[in-house]
Structure formats: structure tokens, C-alpha cells
Amino acid sequence: MSFKVSVTGYAQADQVAARAAFATAFKITPEKAAELLTVLPRTIKVDLDQATAQRYCDALLKMGLTSAAEPMQAAAAPSPVPPAAPAPVAQASPAPVMPAAVVAPEAEQPGFKFTIEGAPDFAFLTVKLPANHTIKVEASAMATMDTHIRMKTKLGGGLGRFITGESIFINEFSAEKVPGEIGIAPGAPGDLGHVYLNGDVIYLQNGAFVACDPDVTIESKWQGFKKGFFSGESFFLIRASGTGDLWFNTYGGMIAKDVDGEYVVDTGNIVAFTEGLNYSVEKFGGYKSLFFSGEGFVCRFRGKGRVWIQTRTSGALLTWAQQFRKAKSAD
């Protein structure tokens, strides 16, 4: 489900200061900010996932503005700004308004209460476990926990995780008798995504799984020699299904794209995608491009669903860093 964020009013008496903060965050003039905030409510951003919409609301509140994140109607995607209004604020970069933490809205989101701090660079997940409830966490991802929480280690993910070099174990943490809190730190520096599964299926790239509800099944799915070999990625994907919370991480920032038809993504930038999408791995450009341009194979998605994309890849970082290596001098 996509959400829109609207400014609904002022949270403080000093409206001038609030407009000035808004102008600075969105890199517009104070006059333009005053013009945009004259008629409220004003929609400033559309087609956001729930966590991102909440981040915008938190940031707007710090500016002295009240706001609302509302689900968008599937039948029509409203324009961020009415036709007669000035240029939409949604085009501005959201980087200046990134808050310190993202809080899962209790009224709209079933499942565990949680916060994500440090996003999008070094996301850190904190989950509140009700008494006698359990959460499954990727091996070595637990960073902090209350002293009464107990851990059990179980096999999870199948043979595919072992073949791809990942741990074949998944830890289960339980809050015994009283509520507890657990902090989870993914291995890769980047963002965290969250989805509440309700009988749905999501496929994750290997290494993307972080944590989930105990009623969510995590298993490996063989994607075949052709897709695995030519993609340059793993022969296996992680298949998450069932009911409950699912968290996954990226290297770099995360972007969610709704697909209705076809969409092409570099194989190294794919984090996750929904079951309604079919995909094929294709060569991008000719053989000269394959060997000399730094590009190679892409994944072409077809159908209707959602793809989560990471803004960085480890392979690209290694290529960039290679130029700074000191060459050994010949003796």
C-alpha cells in the first residue's frame, strides 16, 4: 500500500520560523514556502511506503508543522499539488529532513512495535516483544537485549544458505513471562525495510534477511542454473511466506518501486520483490559492453507487484576502491 503525506497545520505559534525551517529543508525560498503553506492541508509527497511516510511526518513536526500520512486510493494517484498551485515541493530532496528514528504506527500496523534508528546509512532495529512472544533473527545480528530474554538456535533456510556461505542457523529470542526489548544490527551498512506479511510471499536476495515473526517461514528457493549463473548473484533466493513481520536490509539506501507491466533492474541492486512478479536475467548491451563498460546482466521483471532496490552494490565499491591500491614496485 502506498501513502501520501500532507501538511495539515502549524504545531507552534511562530509560523514564520516553521515556514523558514520548511524552506531550508526543501531548498526553496521563504517566499515560496509561505505561498505553499498558505492553503492547508497541502499534499507534499505521494507514493511512499509506510515507514518513509512516517519519517516525513516526524521531520515536519520538528519543523513546527503538523502532518498526516494517509493511504492512497488504488484507483487514482492524486497529484501532490493542485494544477493551479506553484511547483510541487515533492521534487525537493528529502535528505535534509531525515529524522533520527522511525516508529511503527500502532493503529495502522499489526505485529510487533518497533523503531528503526540510524537510517538510511546505518539502520538499527529495536523490537518490543510482548510477554511470552518470540522473534526469529539472523545469526550474529543481535546487538542488545533485556536480561530476561532467552535465545534458542535452530536450523533455518535450508541447504541453499549453506552453499552460498551464509549461516544455516537462525536464532529465536523469547521474552519469558514479561515484555522485553531486543536490538538488532544488520551486517551491511545501509537501510532497513519492513513488510507485514498476511499470507503473502516475498523473495529476498541472499544476505538480505534480518528478522521475522515466528509464523513467517524462511526457506531457500532454487532459481536455476541459468538465472543464478548469468546474474552473477546466488543460485538461491530466500523465500519468506506466512503471517507476521519481516525485516530485511540493504547495502546503501532503499527504494521501493511498484511495477505494473515491465521494469528493469541491475541484478546487483535487487533486494526483494513480491511473488506476483516474474523475472528473467538478460544481457544488457553487446559483449563489448559486458567486458568493458562495467555493465552486464539485468533482471527484467514482468507483472504486477513491488521491487525493493538498494542504491549501492558491494561490487561497485570494490571496483571504485581498486584504483587507490598501491601498485607493487618491481624489484
Give residue limits of the domains in the chain. 3-72, 101-319
| Position 119 confidence tier, pLDDT thresholds 50, 70, 90 | confident
Q: Is the pLDDT of residue 153 over 50?
A: yes
176 near 150, Cβ under 8 Å?
yes
Lowest mean pLDDT among 27-41, 55-69, 189-203, 288-302: 288-302
pLDDT band at 331 (very low <50, low <70, confident <90, very high): low
Q: β-strands 180-184, 142-145: how paired? A: antiparallel
How far from 208 is each of 18, 39, 157, 174, 309, CA to CA, in Å? 39, 43, 12, 23, 11
Q: How far apart are CA 222 and CA 63, in angstroms?
A: 49
| Percent of the chain residues past pLDDT 90, beyond the cut | 33
Residue 52's DSSP bridge partners are: none
pLDDT tops 80 at residue 325: no
According to CATH, the topology of domain 101-319 is: Double-stranded beta-helix (3.60.160)
Residue 130: pLDDT band (50, 70, 90) is very high
- CB atoms near residue 285 (< 10 Å): 13
- Going by their DSSP bridges, the two strands 65-71 and 113-117 should be labelled as unpaired
C-alpha 12/C-alpha 131 separation (Å) is 39
Question: Residues, the chain, total?
Answer: 331
DSSP structural state of residue 294 = S
User: Which is more confidently placed, 75 or 146?
Assistant: 146
Mean pLDDT across the chain:
78
Q: Which residue has the higher pLDDT, 216 or 315?
A: 216
Same topology for domains 3-72 and 101-319, yes or no? no
Q: Which CATH number fits domain 3-72: 3.30.70.2740, 3.30.300.30, 3.30.1390.10, 3.40.50.740?
A: 3.30.1390.10
Mean pLDDT, range 207-226, rounded to an integer: 80
**179 pLDDT above the threshold of 60:** yes
Q: Is the pLDDT of residue 277 over 70?
A: yes
The amino acid at residue 174 is S
Which has the higher per-residue pLDDT, 240 or 11? 240
pLDDT at 97 over 80: no
**The cell 516483544 sits on which residue?**
129
Return the DSSP state at 91: G
User: Which helix (H) or strand (E) element contains residue 25?
Assistant: helix 15-26
pLDDT in the model for residue 91: 47
Containing 103, the helix (H) or strand (E) segment is strand 101-103
pLDDT at 34: 82
State yes or no: pLDDT of 230 exceeds 50: no
Please give the full DSSP string across 134-189, using - where no structure is assigned: EEEEETT-EEEE-TTEEEEEEE-B-HHHHHTT--SEEEEEEE-SS-EEEEE--SSS
What is residue 195's predicted lDDT score, i.e. its pLDDT? Answer: 93
pTM listed for this prediction? 0.59
Least confident of 78-92, 139-153, 231-245, 256-270: 78-92
pLDDT at 285 (0 to 100)? 55
Instruction: Report the alpha-carbon distance of residue 250 to residue 271 in Å, rounded.
Output: 7
Which tens digits make up the pLDDT trace of 26-61?
Answer: 878 888 888 888 888 888 888 888 888 888 888 888
